[in-house]
Amino acid sequence: MESCNCIEPQWPADELLMKYQYISDFFIALAYFSIPLELIYFVKKSAVFPYRWVLVQFGAFIVLCGATHLINLWTFSMHSRTVAVVMTTAKVLTAVVSCATALMLVHIIPDLLSVKTRELFLKNKAAELDREMGLIRTQEETGRHVRMLTHEIRSTLDRHTILKTTLIELGRTLALEECALWMPTRTGLELQLSYTLRQQNPVGYTVPIQLPVINQVFSSNRALKISPNCPVARLRPLQGKYMAGEVVAVRVPLLHLSNFQINDWPELSTKRYALMVLMLPSDSARQWHVHQLELVEVVADQVAVALSHAAILEESMRARDLLMEQNIALDLARREAETAIRARNDFLAVMNHEMRTPMHAIIALSSLLQETELTPEQRLMVETILKSSNLLATLINDVLDLSRLEDGSLQLELVTFNLHAVFSEVLNLIKPIASVKKLMITLNLAPDLPEYAVGDEKRLMQTLLNVVGNAVKFSKEGCVSITAFVAKSESLRDSRAPDFFPVPSENHFYLRVQVKDSGIGINSQDIPKLFTKFAQNQALSTRNSGSGLGLAICKRFVNLMEGHIWIESEGLGKGCTATFIVKLGIPEQSNESKLSFGPKMSGHGPTNFPGLKVLVMDDNGISRSVTKGLLVHLGCDVMTVSSSEECLRVVSQEHKVVFMDVCMPGIDGFDVAVHIHEKFTRRHERPLIVALTGNGDKVNKENCMRVGMDGVILKPVSLEKMRSVLLDLLEHRVLFEAM
């Protein structure tokens, strides 16, 4: 026993040690058995544990370990072989399971560890999301603030309210100490303090606009931090003890109306800006956050828009007020003008009547006076009176006509008339003067000139008479030639009349009349003055009477007839040519028969009696021819007879007038008249009877009247006389005097 060195001597089992081992093994077994139970319990509780079978494995391992330790309890004392076998089996099993578990854990633990990392990652992510949520919330709040601010700003169109509200709301939202708005002055060189938040009535501080800090702010559309010491920020004495709050300034563009174009939204190329300055409370150590700066920028833009709206509205209100004022003024002016025109027209109407009545009296009585017995001196005086009063009458007419022409109240009277007759009438009127002056007048009417035309006959004649009269007036000798033809379109356009655009049409033609004289001519520089009112050639105005209105009136008439009139002259002493073109209508064929004797009675111009059936009784062949010629010229349908028997045989209801020569010896015209009366008992069936006689004394006349003649004409009969006789006869059905 003492000799064995390799192993310790077998010592008898110590009672104490054995006891402690026994107890520890027991507890270990207990623990080992309870751990799987706990695991199962908790795994059952949790739903997500992925590795169940690992748990089973682990459980098995622990149970077996526990079993091993439990079986160990029996190995402390003497034990049988069965226990040893069981113990060995348990140990073997435990070994297997534990090895398996160990191997398994090698795979599983990294997984479990990564779960942990994932968890950490998720936590970080959650934290990030939280942060972002916070940010979004702040932004949303900012947006809400802006919307509210905008709403406040845009709910009014009054500029002051807009600005005041902006400052108040900004002040409230951002908890500012002071907020101010600087507007550019009219000159644009300075910024003036216009609105502040805290101060009620800002005193008009101004700062020059060219400060570097201001330029800096104006050149950027962001809100920039500026120093609290710069002039725009030093609004009031420092409130806080230590440090002034941070100041931010932003530009507010003042958009001008013209910046708003429909298709282009304007770049901010406006020159004018206002400056908004915002100050955080001093001593607060607050900082401007980015989202607050963004809020300020947005607000500034909104303010700009609101201001422009307000400006536009102001502008349009102003424009509307201006327009209303102008409307009222215009209305007043128009009414005044109308009153003036009415007053003038009334005046003219009165003067027309008032002036003409005495003129009539003077002219009529002077004419009558002329017919009486007068000494040569008296005759001269009366003639002078007559001439002067005729002149005056013409003057009055001219002036009245011209004033009516000027205000456009003159309208052409369109009638169908005999164009050829107009020319011959004018000729008749001008012949006496021309023959006195020994001037030759030629009339050339083109063969294609229509005989009848539609237009204002009276005024055409007036124009023609004026032009021809001027030609005669200003010619001392030589000849005056009048040509009239239908103007073709090429000849209508004249370089001398650049704004005359004739438009030939179906129912109209252009009459071109040219009057050429060999008189004193006109200087080329005087030509433009010819048609102006009251302007007369100096050299002539003394010698010639007239108001200088004639050509002016002619021009107006010609213009009314859609034509043109002009005068050419090669110079003094070389005569001149007056030309006018007027537009006349072409009468329809059926209209020609409308030239009845009815409505034409009032006119005294070339009148005709187309188709008027008359009977001429005269035994003298020549007289008969001449009378027939006269009547045919007037358009009548003439039948001639040379004896009373023939007359009585032929006369019928169709004949409207019977002209009979009562100086026929042997054949009594008076008898014929009596017979005619007997033949036609009813008045309207009977033709009118007119006596032609060379004997003008009263007895003869009375005899004619006694036998029931309707009129007496003294031979020789002129065309005019015949015409007026027929006119009178047919109008009045009786003619007392035609001598």
Partner 1 sequence: MDAVTQLQRQLVDYTNSLFLEGFLDDQFNQLQQLQDESNPDFVVEVVSLFFQDSERLLNELAKVLEQQNIDFKKVDAHVHQLKGSSSSIGAQRVQRVCITFRNCCEEKNIEGCLKYLQQLRHEYSLVKNKLETLFKLEQQLLAAGGTIPLY
> What's the DSSP call for residue 636?
-
x/- letters, 714..733, toward partner 1 (CB under 8 A):
-xxxxx--------------
Interface with partner 1, residue 668, by CB under 8 A: no
Bridge partners (DSSP) listed for residue 713: 692
Torsion from C-alpha of 618, 619, 621, 627, nearest 10 degrees: -10
Evaluate whether 647 touches 624 at the Cβ level (below 8 Å): no
Interface with partner 1, residue 574, by CB under 8 A: no
Using the rule CB under 8 A, which residue among 304, 565, 630, 735 binds partner 1?
630
What type of residue sits at position 124?
A: N
**Shortest distance in whole angstroms from residue 364 CB to partner 1:** 25
> What's the DSSP call for residue 418?
E
**Shortest distance in whole angstroms from residue 390 CB to partner 1:** 23
Using the rule CB under 8 A, which residue among 34, 428, 545, 653 binds partner 1?
428
Size of site (CB under 8 A) for partner 1: 36
Distance CA 115, CA 123 (A): 12
Residue 503: phi and psi, rounded to 5, are -125, 95
**Shortest distance in whole angstroms from residue 704 CB to partner 1:** 18
**Shortest distance in whole angstroms from residue 425 CB to partner 1:** 11
**Shortest distance in whole angstroms from residue 453 CB to partner 1:** 16
Bridge partners (DSSP) listed for residue 181: 195, 276
Reading the block at residue 625, the tokens are 């021819």
Query: Which one of the spans 53-61, 210-218, 616-624, 674-682 is the region binding partner 1 (CB under 8 A)?
Result: 616-624
User: Between 532 and 625, whose beta carbon lies closer to partner 1?
Assistant: 625
Reading the block at residue 97, the tokens are 């399971």
User: Between 403 and 642, whose beta carbon lies closer to partner 1?
Assistant: 642
Size of the chain in residues: 739
Query: Which one of the spans 121-129, 213-221, 240-248, 440-448 is the region binding partner 1 (CB under 8 A)?
Result: 440-448
Using the rule CB under 8 A, which residue among 186, 241, 353, 438 binds partner 1?
438
User: Kindly report the CA angle at 108 between 104 and 114, in degrees rounded to 5?
Assistant: 165
User: Between 440 and 705, whose beta carbon lies closer to partner 1?
Assistant: 440
Interface with partner 1, residue 431, by CB under 8 A: yes
Distance CA 309, CA 296 (A): 20
Reading the block at residue 84, the tokens are 């040893």
Interface with partner 1, residue 621, by CB under 8 A: yes
Q: Which residues of 169-196 are buried (b: 16+ CB within 10 A; e: fewer)?
A: bbbebbebbbbbbbbbeeeeebbbbbbb
**Shortest distance in whole angstroms from residue 337 CB to partner 1:** 50
Distance CA 618, CA 147 (A): 116
Query: Which one of the spans 189-197, 266-274, 549-557, 624-632 is the region binding partner 1 (CB under 8 A)?
Result: 624-632
Q: Collapsing DSSP states into helix, strand and coil, what is residue 564?
A: strand
Q: Where do we find the tokens 């607000």?
A: 299
Using the rule CB under 8 A, which residue among 666, 681, 683, 697 binds partner 1?
666
Interface with partner 1, residue 663, by CB under 8 A: yes
Interface with partner 1, residue 479, by CB under 8 A: yes
Evaluate whether 41 touches 88 at the Cβ level (below 8 Å): no
x/- letters, 682..701, toward partner 1 (CB under 8 A):
------------x-------
User: Between 309 and 420, whose beta carbon lies closer to partner 1?
Assistant: 420
Query: Which one of the spans 261-269, 375-383, 505-513, 657-665 is the region binding partner 1 (CB under 8 A)?
Result: 657-665
**Shortest distance in whole angstroms from residue 609 CB to partner 1:** 15
Using the rule CB under 8 A, which residue among 68, 292, 536, 623 binds partner 1?
623
**Shortest distance in whole angstroms from residue 510 CB to partner 1:** 22
Footprint on residues 443-472 left by partner 1 (CB under 8 A): 443-444
Query: Which one of the spans 58-66, 264-272, 589-597, 614-622 is the region binding partner 1 (CB under 8 A)?
Result: 614-622
DSSP assignment of 2-62, as one string?
-S--SSPPP-PPPHHHHHHHHHHHHHHHHHHHHHHHHHHHHHHH-S----HHHHHHHHHHH
Query: Which one of the spans 261-269, 304-312, 430-438, 543-551 is the region binding partner 1 (CB under 8 A)?
Result: 430-438
HEC readout, 368-389: HHHHCCCCHHHHHHHHHHHHHH
Query: Which one of the spans 409-417, 421-429, 638-646, 672-680 is the region binding partner 1 (CB under 8 A)?
Result: 421-429
Interface with partner 1, residue 124, by CB under 8 A: no
Interface with partner 1, residue 477, by CB under 8 A: no
> What's the DSSP call for residue 710?
S
Interface with partner 1, residue 353, by CB under 8 A: no
Evaluate whether 385 touches 362 at the Cβ level (below 8 Å): yes
Interface with partner 1, residue 420, by CB under 8 A: yes
User: Between 60 and 422, whose beta carbon lies closer to partner 1?
Assistant: 422
What type of residue sits at position 118?
A: R
Using the rule CB under 8 A, which residue among 65, 439, 658, 689 binds partner 1?
439
Query: Which one of the spans 85-93, 351-359, 434-442, 637-645 is the region binding partner 1 (CB under 8 A)?
Result: 434-442
> What's the DSSP call for residue 695?
-
Query: Which one of the spans 9-17, 231-239, 355-363, 659-667 is the region binding partner 1 (CB under 8 A)?
Result: 659-667
Residues 6+ apart with CB under 8 A from 497: 564, 566
x/- letters, 633..652, toward partner 1 (CB under 8 A):
x-------------------
Pairing mode of beta strands 452-455, 440-445: unpaired
% helix, strand, coil for the chain, step of 5? 55, 15, 35
Closest CA to 608 of 508, 685, 719: 719
Residues making contact with partner 1 (CB under 8 A) = 420, 424, 427-428, 431, 434-435, 438-444, 479, 619-623, 625-626, 629-630, 632-633, 661, 663, 665-666, 694, 715-719
